[in-house]
Amino acid sequence: MVVRRQGIALLMTLLVLGLLTASALSLMRLADLEFRVADNTYAFAQAEILAQAGLQGAMTLLAMDDNDYDAPTDPWGRFGQYASLATGFIEEGAFGGRIEDLSGLIDINSLVDRTGVPVTQRIEQFDRLLRLLELDPDILPDLLDWLDPDDEARMGGAETPYYRQLDPPYPCGNGPLDTEAQLGLVKGFGRRVLDGQDDRPGLRPYVTVHSSGLININTAPEPVLLSLDDGLTRAVVQEIMGRRASQPFEKLDELRDLPGLTPELLNRIVPLISVKSEFFRIRVEGSFRQARAAVTAVVYRSQSGVRLIYYLQG
């Protein structure tokens, strides 16, 4: 049944990508008339059209995917392969890219509630992540002050008076982050912390600002799984990762028979996890001859469809 369902999904995907390729080609022919005068402008316009067609294709893939559970084995996880199939016969042009699940990452904005009050369980998890990555947990109060609405600095934190004396000065955010990049504005969250140093990874691959707050155990990276609870050992996390590689978790109940995961531990982590995803980041690059055009988008997927919530060109 699963094989049949995947077969149907693949056929649907190829059909949709084929249609998208056809529409990209017809758009390109239209653009051909308008841009023939300047070769570079023409090539760039074609690359942009291909990037847009790729983004539409990625959103269609997500909309078509059934939402029982989400894992990289879903069609959205193979967007790159489908893209090269769909654009393989476009002369001189192509689009490629990937769809990343953001629901496997830690939501920075959920460290405080809507009124700015710290959420203990979330903060403990973030603190564990910092320690796992060998980063200084003393930067946590700075982040909480950035997220809370007041301008009163907590012990070890920083508010607007600190940011005003920087060159150039800027105000404290005092609210949720809109993009992951804004994390770089927070005191203590410099390049070394975000991007890592030498062989050590930084925070960036493990955090997001777009999430329902629940972490999808089918897509969460190892440090995020480890950060869920102090009692979660590397052996149990390896067990989860080994299991999902062969067959993704379709229900949280399937964790019950996992060796080393006690009922007490399971009860503690269940309120934090899920097997479904709602937020995805799509990165697409269109290329035509020497020209390149990139698009990054974040989408929210629900029963009513796939909605664009962030879009960046270039």
Residues at the interface with Ca ion (CB under 5 A): 145, 148, 150, 152, 174
Smallest gap from residue 309 Cβ to Ca ion (A): 24
Between 70 and 145, CB nearer to Ca ion? 145
Give the 3-state secondary structure of residue 284. strand
Question: How do beta strands 215-216 and 273-274 pair?
Answer: parallel
Smallest gap from residue 147 Cβ to Ca ion (A): 7
Give the 3-state secondary structure of residue 124. helix
Smallest gap from residue 172 Cβ to Ca ion (A): 5
Give yes or no for a contact between 111 and 118, defined as CB atoms under 8 angstroms apart.
yes
Between 80 and 161, CB nearer to Ca ion? 161
Between 174 and 233, CB nearer to Ca ion? 174
Closest CA to 77 of 62, 55, 93: 62
Between 188 and 221, CB nearer to Ca ion? 188
Give the 3-state secondary structure of residue 281. strand
Cβ–Cβ contacts within 10 Å for residue 130, how many?
A: 18
Residue type, 262: T
Between 51 and 144, CB nearer to Ca ion? 144
Supply φ then ψ for residue 242, to 5 degrees.
-65, -40
Supply φ then ψ for residue 36, to 5 degrees.
-60, -25
Smallest gap from residue 176 Cβ to Ca ion (A): 11
Between 187 and 283, CB nearer to Ca ion? 187
> What DSSP assignment string belongs to 70-112?
--TTSGGGGHHHHHHHHHTTSTTEEEEEEEEESTTSEEGGGGB
Give yes or no for a contact between 282 and 97, defined as CB atoms under 8 angstroms apart.
yes
Between 2 and 155, CB nearer to Ca ion? 155
Count, in order, helices (H) and strands (E) of the chain: 10, 8
Give yes or no for a contact between 10 and 75, defined as CB atoms under 8 angstroms apart.
yes
Smallest gap from residue 120 Cβ to Ca ion (A): 16
Smallest gap from residue 157 Cβ to Ca ion (A): 6
Smallest gap from residue 115 Cβ to Ca ion (A): 12
